[in-house]
Amino acid sequence: MRKNEGINVLALNGDNMTQITLSVVEEWLDSHPEQCQDYFLRKIELDLINKWLVSHGFLNINDYISSATSTSSSGNVSPANGLAVQQVSPATSPNAPSILVNGTNSLSVSQMYRSNSKRCRRHDFARAKTRSVLRQQEIGKDVPICSSRRSSLKDMRKFTSLPPSPISMLSLLIDSKVRLPRWPVSAHNVDTKRDLRHAQGERDFFLTVVRDIATDLDLKSLSQKIVDDLAVLLDCDAGSLFLVDGPPRGSRRRCLVSKVFDVHSGARGQFLLPDGVQCEMAGGPATTTDNEVRIPWGVGILGHVASTGETVNLDVACEDPRFDDEVDRIMGYYTSSLLCMPVKNSYEEIIAVAQVNNKNPDKDGGHFNSMDEKLFETYLQFVGIAITNAQIVEDSRAEYDRNRNLLEVVHDLFEEQTSIDKVIMKIMQRAQRLLKCERAAVLLVDESCDSTRFSKLFDLNSPKHNLKNNVKNSRQKVEGENVSRYLESLAERVACSGEVLNINELECSEGIIDSGINSLLAMPIRNKNDQIIGVASIINKLNSSPFDDYDEQLFEAFTIFCGLGIHNTLMYSEVEKAMARQKVSIEVLSYHATASNKDVERILGMPVPAADSLNLYSLAFDDFSLNDDEMLMAAVSMFLELGLVKTFNIEKETLYRFLITVKRNYRDVPYHNWRHAFNVAQVMFAIMMGRDMKNTFSDLEVLGMFVGCLCHDLDHRGTNNSFQEKARSALVLLYGTTNTMEHHHFNHAVMILSSENLNIFSSLSAESFSTVMKVLKHSILATDLCMYFQLRNKFFRLIESKEYSWDEESQRYMLMAMLMTSSDLAASTKQWHVQKRAARLVTDEFIEQGDKERFELKIQPQALMDRERQHELPQLQIRWIADICLPLYQALGQMNPKLNVMKEGAINNMQQWSKLVDENYKNANGEQK
């Protein structure tokens, strides 16, 4: 009720909201603590919480978590316990906050603070190695050394017998022996340091701040201390420190980076510009996403000092032409006096540039004098030592992280071996994250081509890069295509020569205009035989720097791992294929059997009917007019009428045994069975003999096409290619996702033809055998509708233009494919009672597949396979004939008018299906009425 009442009071006073003062609002908040707390919990942001903590003398959230982690890992605080933050009484320390563990042990922040959790874990792991792995207490003086060793070995055996995890394995592989010193967090801000300077004197204060920076090995906190110390030592308004970044060779590839940048002492702890704001004007600094401020080499006073090593002391900074007031204009600050000096290491190399602004106007007229320069130079000598030590520690930490990442890559290689795509993408993701680049790409060489071509491209963009890609305009899309061609040309160069390409921004701009590529590193990927199997590339470091020698060494390790991953995956794939081949062979052998001698003897005794007596020459042949034995004898009759038995010396018993075996190798499915195979062969026979098409092809081609009709659906399982892919069947593992079932049908035909007493091609020469097998494979693969869709537009244009010549092999093979498809789909051209019955059988088979998809694969089947939509069969048949069948028969009729009967039959069946649609519509309306 109190909450509602508060809302009503504000609503009633809504007209006078502009008259309410801050004191009134505060009074209301004090009197309504529940509403105040509720608003705080709903609206507060992390930045405001951090500001409150800092203003009350506590650590911010990130520093607190880091310090808590370090303390808990060292054994003082358990991460599971509740941690209460409480300020220390002034009697203890006026400036240092503390953390209470469960309200008891008080630990100062200087004891707890450790800024990097990975370093903490490494340090604690190194300490833990001094004890046995499973020891409950430390070994004292009373325990003999030999027994302690035996106990340690025993415990180690227990430990190693446990199931290893990736984390434990990686931890054992990387055993850091380096103990990094801890450094405390300085509890002094600029104001307290000024008071401390007055209390201690300049000499003692100088020694204090030097000792303070000597123990800090974190570049960010060290930079903050140096900036604060400079402001106090030189009694000025602001200080800044810029570190030299980039390789030592070539100033063009270097820049100055500031971890902490202050424009005046009152802005302590704040960066120059907020996140995401870019300031890339000429000579001006630019901020990156991690709040670093960068200045190009040689630009401005800072760049001049960094490149020349000179000291710059200006009484009026704005009068110097090298001074850039970009920062002043952004922040509303005015720089009058300025002192800038380089920071050098023990080798007299410039590693940083320090600058102080606006001397205290009450001293020396607000100008930096020679004594200030001397003090500045003396302090910067210690700064150079501190920065060098911190950079060494940072490099060691980075090396440790890189080694761990490389070991994790090795773990990924052995964890994922089922897919080249997954292996490469995992390695690319780690390479992109570790090398901090915008984009990574891998191109695999196509080994089937003699020239250097690529079969696969893997391209991975950073989230920032993807965001830019999502808002591309048309001009940028064109540029993106240019970039792809440019990358492909570089990859071809690397694949051919085996060289490593490290291209900087200038070289990129010479290769392509407005490409967005600032730097590129490309390396070859090799297999175990040192052959180049691909090219890996990384593009654009996130800090806009070129790739250096260290990046090359690290990326080379990634390319080696990538090659190993590809090799392992290919080997695993071969093993999978072998297992799938074995599984399919076992299935086939367990389900099928060759023709028995009894069956052959029985068929041999039957008379062979004449082809015309069975109406085999007609395209209107009734598909359901013959039984199984009659279809076998009709097939023998067609072999004889085509002249294949005589031309190729096919033995009678071999032919009979072959036909019986083919028949038995068709499964008992509703439609794609032996009857369908025979009907397809009959249509092909009618086209060849009854429509004068036999002379278009050679005898070998006729043999291959006719046998292909009989074998084109061998071992059909009643499911299509799409189902095999969805179910990830053994056939997909064996043949892939392209023409899956058709490849299986062909290989099954080859298996039959390779069996003893079944090879009807045994009398052919090696050259003729090769030709007929080529035609056989082409004919069976052509029955896949995907192949038909790929060829039909080209075939239709060829027929319409009447520029075809069947003497040309490529055009003749296209005609073979079209005739195979027309024979396979010929049920749509038969008499209405045949068409209707065939359509029902097809539907029954499709519905069985739909049920498997619904209940086994848990997916929604297509309309023609959905049992709940059987009433839509007439509409689906009309669409099937109109879209797929009729265009083909129209083109064949245009080529050979004797084939127009197929077109007419298809049109007639469409009309019959339309009548059923009308009847269903009338019945549905009648039921509604």
pLDDT digits (tens, 9 = 90+) for 281-319: 333 444 344 556 777 777 888 888 888 888 888 888 777
Which two tokens mark 482? 């240019």
Flag the least confident range among 345-359, 489-503, 567-581, 849-863: 567-581
Select from 355, 276, 291 the least CA-distant residue to 323.
355
pLDDT of residue 253: 62
Is residue 125 very low, low, confident or very high in pLDDT (cuts 50, 70, 90)?
low
pLDDT of residue 756: 78
Mean pLDDT of the chain: 76
Pick the catalytic residue from 672, 676, 716, 744.
Answer: 672
Flag the least confident range among 192-201, 885-894, 905-914: 192-201
Cβ-Cβ contacts under 8 Å for 761 (sequence gap 6 or more)? 648, 703, 753, 769, 772, 773
Is residue 925 very low, low, confident or very high in pLDDT (cuts 50, 70, 90)?
low
Asked whether the beta carbons of 345 and 351 are under 8 A apart, the reply is yes
- The helix-helix angle for 420-435 and 549-591 (nearest 10°) equals 160
Is pLDDT of 354 > 80? yes
- The DSSP call for residue 928 is H
**383 conformational bin, left if phi > 0, alpha if psi -120 to 50, beta if neither:** alpha
Residue that has been written with the tokens 């800092």 in this structure: 54
Asked whether the beta carbons of 406 and 557 are under 8 A apart, the reply is yes
Asked whether the beta carbons of 112 and 185 are under 8 A apart, the reply is no
Is pLDDT of 326 > 70? no
State the Cα–Cα distance between residues 488 and 812, nearest whole angstrom.
Answer: 37
Is residue 557 very low, low, confident or very high in pLDDT (cuts 50, 70, 90)?
confident
Flag the least confident range among 415-429, 605-619, 776-790: 415-429
Which two tokens mark 199? 């209390």
pLDDT of residue 823: 96
Cβ-Cβ contacts under 8 Å for 206 (sequence gap 6 or more)? 233, 379
Helices (H), 416-461: 420-435
Torsion sign across C-alpha atoms 426, 431, 432, 434: positive
Asked whether the beta carbons of 224 and 240 are under 8 A apart, the reply is no
Cβ-Cβ contacts under 8 Å for 416 (sequence gap 6 or more)? 422, 423, 426
- Read off the pLDDT of residues 779-790 as tens digits, 9 standing for 90 and up: 999 999 999 999
Is pLDDT of 99 > 60? no
Which two tokens mark 527? 């297999």
Is residue 177 very low, low, confident or very high in pLDDT (cuts 50, 70, 90)?
very low
Which two tokens mark 628? 């199984």
State the Cα–Cα distance between residues 196 and 687, nearest whole angstrom.
Answer: 107
pLDDT of residue 749: 94
| Annotation says 411 is catalytic | no
Is pLDDT of 573 > 70? yes
State the Cα–Cα distance between residues 750 and 772, nearest whole angstrom.
Answer: 12
The upper half-sphere exposure of residue 273, i.e. CA atoms within 13 Å in the direction of its Cβ, equals: 22
The arithmetic mean of pLDDT across residues 222-232, rounded, is 86
Select from 670, 663, 789 the least CA-distant residue to 719.
670
> pTM of whole model > 0.75?
no
pLDDT of residue 437: 86
The upper half-sphere exposure of residue 185, i.e. CA atoms within 13 Å in the direction of its Cβ, equals: 23
Select from 813, 848, 823, 832 the least CA-distant residue to 910.
832
Is residue 703 very low, low, confident or very high in pLDDT (cuts 50, 70, 90)?
very high
* Whole-number CA gyration radius for the chain: 42
Element (H, E) at 294: strand 293-296
State the Cα–Cα distance between residues 600 and 656, nearest whole angstrom.
Answer: 7
> Do strands 293-296 and 286-287 pair parallel, antiparallel, or not at all (unpaired)?
antiparallel
